[in-house]
């Protein structure tokens, strides 16, 4: 029993660590993205070297975030993995279908502005959030 309690304590601690690690990586990725996006304009006046460096750092931190997300997902129990997978599948589908249709809108002259990738990212974030909320409610 004590051994089992220690193991489950380890599992809970490990989950918390994974969540914290993912939070830090995500924060770092957002921060490096902001530096790569605004640095050239505001800090170094579009000098090539710092711009490339900022972009490479952002990419490297982005891959770190992906690895942290993978570890976080692997640390979840099977129900939460399923909820995450369902929400991810929904997001992928909505992103693909709506993204292509959105891009088509400009090609066929139904909208006059250039489609922005940020709109698609926002849609995918909202879809994933809705999928997670729906999944959690479904198994309550």
Partner 1 sequence: MKNRLKVLRAERDWTQAQLASELEVSRQTVNAIEKGKFDPSLPLAFKVARLFGLSIEDIFHYEAAS
**Footprint on this chain of partner 1 (rule: CB under 8 A):** 4-5, 7-9, 11-12, 77-80, 82, 136, 138-140
What tokens were used for 68? 């942290």
In the block, tokens 């530096």 appear at 35
What tokens were used for 88? 């991810």
Least distance CB 71 / partner 1 (angstroms): 16
Q: Which is nearer to partner 1, 4 or 48 (CB)?
A: 4
Q: Which is nearer to partner 1, 77 or 107 (CB)?
A: 77
From residue 136, give the alpha-carbon distance in Å to each of 66, 87, 128, 130, 132: 23, 10, 12, 10, 6
Q: Rounded to whole angstroms, how far apart are CA atoms 114 and 55? A: 24
Q: Which is nearer to partner 1, 83 or 94 (CB)?
A: 83
């Amino acid at each position: 029993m004590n051994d089992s309690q220690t193991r489950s304590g380890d599992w809970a601690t490990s989950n918390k660590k994974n969540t914290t690690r993912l939070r830090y990586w995500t924060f770092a990725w957002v921060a490096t993205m902001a530096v790569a996006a605004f640095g050239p304009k505001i800090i170094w006046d579009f000098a090539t070297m710092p711009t490339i460096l900022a972009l490479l750092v952002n990419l490297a931190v982005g891959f770190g975030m992906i690895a942290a997300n993978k570890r976080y997902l692997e640390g979840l129990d099977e129900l939460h993995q399923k909820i995450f997978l369902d929400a991810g599948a929904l997001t992928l589908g909505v992103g693909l279908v709506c993204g292509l249709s959105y891009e088509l809108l400009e090609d066929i002259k139904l909208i006059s502005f250039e489609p922005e990738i940020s709109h698609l990212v926002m849609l995918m974030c909202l879809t994933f959030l809705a999928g997670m909320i729906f999944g959690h409610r479904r198994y309550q």
